[in-house]
Structure 1
Amino acid sequence: MLKVFFLTFIINLSIGLGFSATASVDKNRCTIDDIISFKIEFENADSFSNIDISSLIKDFAVISGPSQQTSMQWINGKVTNSRIMSWSLSPKREGRLVIPRLNVQISGKKSATKEIVVFVSQSQKKETDLDVFISAEINKESVYIGEQITLTYSIYRKVECSIEPFEIPKFPGFWSEELFRPNQIKFKNIAINGVQYQKGILYKVALFPISGKELEIEPLSLKIQKQKKKKRRSRDPFFDPFFDSFFTETETKILRSKKREIFIKDYPQSRPIGFTGAVGDFKISTATDTDSINVNEAITFRVIVEGTGNMGLFTIPKMSFADDIDQFPPKENFEKNVFRDELSGKMIWEYILVPRVSGKLSIPPISFTFFNPKIEKWQKISSKPISVFVKNTNDNYLTSNGLTKREIEVLGKDIKYIYNGNPVLKHINSTPYNYIFLIYFLSILIFFLPNILSYIIGYNLDSMPARLSKNALKKALNKLKTSDTRSDNFDNKIIYQYLKDKFQLHSYNLDAISTKDQLRGRINDQALEELIELLKLYESFIYGKKETIDIHSLNQKTASILERIDKSCL
């Protein structure tokens, strides 16, 4: 008994003297494809610290962590208590990267780690030497301002792998239009330098440069779980190569595409008058919804530009009509052709015109100038003129007192004109007083009815969101306990339902990326990062291949994270 007391006293004494924090990595030099093990060791600490590693996110991607480990040693009568927190990091770029100084606080005592410098070099492996790699494929490297570049991110594999959710990089200097994003990646066989691969398309986008002379397309980063075979040296005939497929394990890899450079060419000649930014191959037409109308009636006039190019990045020249025609600002609409890699479709400008005098209404042709990159020349096209017959009406008051453009904009509804005839009056009997009292009584009853119902049935209709938020954690924990009965039940719907109820999220198609965007600033950053990592882990279980996982431990981890989020919102 005395030995146990003495040992406890020595441990508490060593902890009370303070603690130290030491950071380390498993390597200071690596390639862009490597994963770095980053550890922080606490000596004589009585607990783990909540460390803010947001300063790491600039140059490193957190693959996993933090994992925790505790150990205690007794050497020459001295007790050493150590705790280790570790992360797996992947460098985001090449060059000299710095793991900054991290502040640590445990039980009111403070310490800090030292900076660590890591030198990251380019990968020495060729793409064709890898089992899995991704590429950024573009159809052209030199273009004009406004000319389309088709960018396709593809994955090539020789072994099975599961792909975790990923974010599309930003495209500074470009206007982008998504062309293709698969719900499920489909692979097809392909040979590269005689080597067989399976190729799948990750994302396809149309890019249109809007400024500059040289632009860069940032690389896409992708986290995968890749299968690798276990090497067996046994000569037992049972371990024939046929059985190798039964002894596989997974490893985490970060794949990155290469940066692509785009060079901007100058237009062959100076920009002509009337050019509004259109680049591509187009044709123009005009139409009206009728060929004859009455005075003061509205007519719809449409300008249609159809073709392939930077649709949505240009407009048509400003149109002017005769003074006796009221013109309203046009409505613009873009009808996209979704079945082509090149951005194509129709742009429609719709004008509302109101002629004020009778006769022949002539709408002149519209000229449209654009640059055609295929022939590298400026082109000018024109529509055909349109004539509409405006008929006079026999109602003089309509002709002379028609509404002006300003009146229609202000009123925005049908007009009731003043009646000039003699009014016909009808005698109405006085309303009995009992009807008046009945109306007052019903009004008061309707006014207090919600409060009366709330008091009687004990149910406040306005408190539904508050009750859902309050009971969200309880419902989620009950569902997690129920899911323990199934060993293969990786159900992330429990988490998403909790988030919808707790934070009143309106989206019904949540994923890890949209959840991070909607919860940023509403919970603390560390809890948010843990939640996102947990969601990605669930998605890898659902859509990828994984070894057997203890569902009970996973549910306990989920419950712990949800409880911390719930407490932080109180």
Structure 2
Amino acid sequence: MRLCNHFILVFATFSPAWALQVTASVDRSRCTINDLITFKIEAEDASSFPTAEIQALSKDFSIISGPSQQTNMQWINGTMTNSRTMTWSIAPKREGNLRIPSLTVKVGRKVFKTKPLQIQVVSSGQNSNDLNVFIIAEIDKDEAFLGEQITLTYKLYKQANVSIEPFQLPEFTGFWAEELYRPRQVSFKNVSRSGVRYQVGTLYQVALFPIPGDKYVIPSLMVQSKIVSKRSKRRRDPFFDPFFDTFFTEMVTKVIHSPEKKITIKPYPDSRPFDFTGAVGQFTIDASTDRDSTNVNEGLTYTINLKGTGNMGLFTLPDIKFPNQLEAFSPTEKFKKDVFRDALTGTMSWEYILIPRMAGSVAIPPVKMSYFDPQSETWKRIKTDAVTIPILPGREALVMGSGFSKREVELLGRDIRFIHTETTQWKRINAPAASLWILSIYGMAILFFFAPPLVGRVLGYRVQTAADRQARGALKKACRNLKAGAGDPFDVASSTVYKYLQDRLQLSTHNLYPTMVEELLSKYLAKNELITILDHLKTCDAGRFGPDGVDRESTIIDETIILLKTLDREIGK
């Protein structure tokens, strides 16, 4: 008897787990292409909601909404039952016999498999012109070149009172899309289509540019709508007067599809230019600088403006070769769009930061590019004018001439001998031949003659000590200047590095630039260390003359201090 009681207790404890069941269901097994289907996954006697991956449905169905959760509890003959349900609204993508596959469902730690479901989808039995509400996809052309704009407009036509739910745009596979118009609220106007009066409103307008691919199809737009329709009357009664029609209407939820459209891609004509980078449309180009002249090591901005209509953003400029006297940084690209045009129109700008490294007149050659004009179906070429910039010597540039340098003047001053103006010292005829002063000179000469190693060591120690003091002074002076931090961090870091090299290497020129630094330090540093120094100097220049180094503005001083200490150690080896 005790064993039986234990068995009953164990059965009662685990009976909920045995009773746990998971089922999948739909509210209809036959529908039209415009109907919504309610898909449910229900778990009976479950302590938590079921979870399922329903991506497998996306092949034949679109997920319109969901999942939503619902809990149902009932008491029957003193026994409580409960169920937890997950619900989705789905819509068929095509007609025919569709299948909801078996899905893997998890409830807590348990895993279940649902049974597959079959759904028959039939045509609505009406043409678009006979419907109360429908969507069409209007395109301005069904044949286009790669990169040529195709303007797509989704329009909603209606005769009934219709409300539209927020919709998701399809993926335009094979196209680069640029949005042209998307209203916050759809406005309608009266039109006539095939002799039938409709109200039409624009849902979305987009510019599509074909890119290299395998398939070019304008996808269907799917919109969930609620349509107010009258209830059917079985008999004619005076009570059912038109005055009371508004009290006998119902809201019908429908899914509206626009038809797909195929695009044919035309090949480009022969003789494609060598400098064609993908520009398609109509364009003009010009170039300018932000100043008429500049100094050595002072940056200037060189701007290229491309104006026109076409596939802006899908191509680049051909490679630009600047003169060797100019150091060029990567350009900053901008696009200003004209929002009041159906075609993608605007101005693309490329801004280059150029730093002249040598004085003289520098000519930037014309920038040439080719594009394809789809209207005339011909290749065209445009170019900028050449830009000439006078480069003046820097304020600290070395002045070359036939005069003497400061060091040469100093050495020359040591060689000047002045006329003696002192009174002549006379000597007696009978005085001794060798005085004490002459004997002391001979003694000193003999001493230094026999002790040359000692003299060499003393002199060598003094010279070496002075060089070390000068090197340590250069590093300390540079670090002190960096920590003071007066002015732009990039400017302070750049000038400090150049000043340190002048003091450390005892250079007579003040006109330093990265190429010269590379030549000077190549005998002291390994290749990777030399690249680090040059990259650091270029980062400083980019921060001084452009926006590229803004993210390192707070750390550039500390990086420079570490870099100088490493450089000083390598030079001192």
What's the TM-score once normalised by structure 1's chain length? 0.61
Residue ranges of structure 1 left out of the alignment (5+ in a row): 1-10, 416-570
Deviation at 1:398, TM superposition (A): 9.1
Deviation at 1:56, TM superposition (A): 5.6
Change (3 A) 1:84 1:240: farther
User: What secondary structure does 1:252 align onto?
Assistant: strand
Deviation at 1:194, TM superposition (A): 1.3
Q: Distance in 1 between matches of 2:344 and 2:160?
A: 35
Aligned twin of 1:315: 316
Cα deviation 1:237-294 (Å, max 9, x = unaligned): 4543244234332111111111121111111114211001101110111111122333
Deviation at 1:310, TM superposition (A): 0.5
Change (3 A) 1:356 1:144: same
User: What secondary structure does 2:52 align onto?
Assistant: coil
Aligned twin of 1:411: 540
Amino acid in the other structure paired with 1:401: H
Q: Distance in 2 between matches of 1:84 and 1:323?
A: 75
Aligned twin of 1:187: 188
User: What secondary structure does 2:226 align onto?
Assistant: strand
Deviation at 1:70, TM superposition (A): 7.7
Q: 1:213, 1:264 within 8 Å by CA — same for their partners in 2?
A: no
Change (3 A) 1:48 1:102: farther
Q: 2:396, 2:510 within 8 Å by CA — same for their partners in 1?
A: no
Q: 2:147, 2:210 within 8 Å by CA — same for their partners in 1?
A: yes
Q: 1:19, 1:111 within 8 Å by CA — same for their partners in 2?
A: no
User: What secondary structure does 2:539 align onto?
Assistant: helix
Amino acid in the other structure paired with 2:295: N
Change (3 A) 1:193 1:105: same
Deviation at 1:313, TM superposition (A): 0.8
Question: How many residues in Structure 1 have an aligned counterpart in Structure 2?
Answer: 400
Q: Which has the larger radius of gyration?
A: 2
Q: 2:103, 2:113 within 8 Å by CA — same for their partners in 1?
A: yes
Change (3 A) 1:290 1:116: same
Aligned twin of 1:353: 354
Cα deviation 1:44-86 (Å, max 9, x = unaligned): x688963536256423335576667788999xxxx99897967
Change (3 A) 1:124 1:363: same
Q: 2:34, 2:124 within 8 Å by CA — same for their partners in 1?
A: yes
Aligned twin of 2:418: none
Aligned twin of 1:54: 54
Change (3 A) 1:30 1:349: same
Deviates more, 1:101-110 or 1:265-274: 101-110
User: What secondary structure does 2:263 align onto?
Assistant: strand
Q: Distance in 2 between matches of 1:375 and 1:228?
A: 51
Change (3 A) 1:158 1:393: same
Amino acid in the other structure paired with 2:128: E
Change (3 A) 1:273 1:246: same
Aligned twin of 1:140: 141
Aligned twin of 1:212: 213
User: What secondary structure does 1:396 align onto?
Assistant: coil
Q: Distance in 2 between matches of 1:297 and 1:105?
A: 67
Give the 5 Å matches for 1:291-370: 291-370=292-371
User: What secondary structure does 1:411 align onto?
Assistant: helix
Amino acid in the other structure paired with 2:218: I
Amino acid in the other structure paired with 1:348: S
Cα deviation 1:407-435 (Å, max 9, x = unaligned): 752324679xxxxxxxxxxxxxxxxxxxx
User: What secondary structure does 1:231 align onto?
Assistant: coil
Q: 1:311, 1:343 within 8 Å by CA — same for their partners in 2?
A: yes
Aligned twin of 2:265: 264
Change (3 A) 1:398 1:129: farther
Change (3 A) 1:195 1:184: same
Change (3 A) 1:294 1:197: same
User: What secondary structure does 1:410 align onto?
Assistant: helix
Give the 5 Å matches for 1:153-552: 153-212=154-213, 214-232=215-233, 235-237=236-238, 239-392=240-393, 395-397=396-398, 401-404=510-513, 406=534, 408-412=537-541
Q: 1:371, 1:378 within 8 Å by CA — same for their partners in 2?
A: yes
Q: Distance in 2 between matches of 1:99 and 1:63?
A: 17
Q: State the identity as a percent.
A: 44
Deviates more, 1:113-122 or 1:161-170: 113-122
Q: 1:170, 1:218 within 8 Å by CA — same for their partners in 2?
A: yes
Q: 1:296, 1:354 within 8 Å by CA — same for their partners in 2?
A: yes
Cα deviation 1:293-330 (Å, max 9, x = unaligned): 33333221111111000001111111112212222221
Amino acid in the other structure paired with 2:249: T
Change (3 A) 1:390 1:253: same
Deviation at 1:115, TM superposition (A): 1.5
Amino acid in the other structure paired with 1:163: I
Change (3 A) 1:404 1:160: farther
Amino acid in the other structure paired with 2:327: D
Name which structure has the greater RCO, CA cutoff 8 Å, separation 6+: 1
Q: Distance in 1 between matches of 2:374 and 2:366?
A: 25
Cα deviation 1:486-513 (Å, max 9, x = unaligned): xxxxxxxxxxxxxxxxxxxxxxxxxxxx
Q: Distance in 1 between matches of 2:277 and 2:513?
A: 31
Deviation at 1:402, TM superposition (A): 3.8
Deviation at 1:235, TM superposition (A): 4.8
Change (3 A) 1:340 1:137: same
Cα deviation 1:412-460 (Å, max 9, x = unaligned): 4679xxxxxxxxxxxxxxxxxxxxxxxxxxxxxxxxxxxxxxxxxxxxx
Q: Distance in 1 between matches of 2:381 and 2:366?
A: 12
Amino acid in the other structure paired with 2:121: V
Amino acid in the other structure paired with 2:248: F
Deviates more, 1:144-153 or 1:360-369: 360-369
User: What secondary structure does 2:153 align onto?
Assistant: strand
Deviation at 1:31, TM superposition (A): 3.2
Q: 1:173, 1:215 within 8 Å by CA — same for their partners in 2?
A: yes
Give the 5 Å matches for 1:29-48: 29-38=30-39
Aligned twin of 1:426: none
Amino acid in the other structure paired with 1:199: V
Change (3 A) 1:82 1:41: farther
Deviates more, 1:357-366 or 1:369-378: 357-366
Provide the alpha-carbon RMSD of the alignment: 3.7
Aligned twin of 1:505: none
Aligned twin of 1:448: none
Aligned twin of 1:124: 125
Q: Distance in 2 between matches of 1:299 and 1:56?
A: 58
Q: 2:277, 2:316 within 8 Å by CA — same for their partners in 1?
A: yes
Amino acid in the other structure paired with 1:245: T
Q: 2:53, 2:105 within 8 Å by CA — same for their partners in 1?
A: no
Deviates more, 1:392-401 or 1:129-138: 392-401
User: What secondary structure does 2:369 align onto?
Assistant: strand
Change (3 A) 1:387 1:71: same
Deviates more, 1:147-156 or 1:101-110: 101-110
User: What secondary structure does 1:244 align onto?
Assistant: helix
Cα deviation 1:83-106 (Å, max 9, x = unaligned): 796765321334442222346688
Q: Distance in 2 between matches of 1:120 and 1:318?
A: 56
Q: 1:55, 1:100 within 8 Å by CA — same for their partners in 2?
A: no
Amino acid in the other structure paired with 2:371: F
Change (3 A) 1:66 1:410: closer
